[in-house]
Chain A
Amino acid sequence: MELAGLRSRLERLGSTVTSQVWRLGYASRFLFYLVAHSGTALKRFRLTTAEIYFAGVLSLVIILVSGLFVGMVLALQGYETLQRFGASESLGVLVALSLVRELGPVVAGLLFASRAGSAITAEIGLMKATEQISAMEMMAVDPIARVVAPRFWGGVISMPLLAALFSAAGIFGGYLVGVQLIGVDAGAFWSQMQAAVDLRNDILNGVYKSIVFGVAVTWIAVFEGYDAIPTAEGVSRATTRTVVTSSLAILALDFVLTALMFTGGSH
Chain B
Amino acid sequence: MNRSMIDLWVGVFVVVGFAALIFLALKVGNLASFSTDDTYQVQAKFANIGGLKVRGPVKSAGVVVGRVADIRFDNESYEAIVWMTINLHYQFPRDTTAKILTSGILGEQYVGLEAGGDGVMLKNGDRVRLTQSAVVLENLISQFLFNKAAEGKPEEKK
Contact = CB atoms under 8 A, between A and B. Distances in A.
Nearest to A154: B10
Interface stretch (B11-19, B111-119, B125-133): B11-19
A98 to B, nearest CB: 12
Contacts of A265: 54
B21 A207 contact: yes
Contacts of B18: 161, 164
Interface string B110-147: 00000000000000000000000000000000000000
A198 B10 CA distance: 30
B122 to A, nearest CB: 24
Contacts of A96: 28
A127 B108 CA distance: 58
B10 A168 contact: no
A168 B71 contact: no
* Interface SS of A by simple majority: helix
Contacts, number: 84
Contacts of A167: 20, 24
A164 B27 contact: no
Given A167-B20, A167-B24, A168-B24, A161 B13 contact: yes
B24 A100 contact: yes
A161 B20 contact: yes
Contacts of B1: 53
Interface in A146-189: 158, 160-162, 164-165, 167-168, 171
A52 B13 contact: yes
Interface string B17-58: 110110111011111110000000000000000000111010
B155 interface: no
Interface residues of A, number: 32
30 contacts: A46-B7, A52-B10, A53-B10, A56-B17, A100-B28, A158-B13, A160-B17, A161-B17, A161-B18, A161-B21, A164-B17, A164-B18, A164-B21, A164-B24, A167-B20, A168-B20, A171-B24, A190-B27, A194-B28, A194-B32, A195-B64, A197-B28, A197-B29, A197-B30, A198-B29, A202-B29, A203-B21, A203-B24, A203-B25, A267-B54
Interface of B: 1, 3, 6-7, 9-10, 12-14, 16-18, 20-21, 23-25, 27-33, 53-55, 57, 64, 71
Interface of A: 46, 49-50, 52-53, 56-57, 60, 96, 100, 158, 160-162, 164-165, 167-168, 171, 190, 193-195, 197-199, 202-203, 207, 265-267
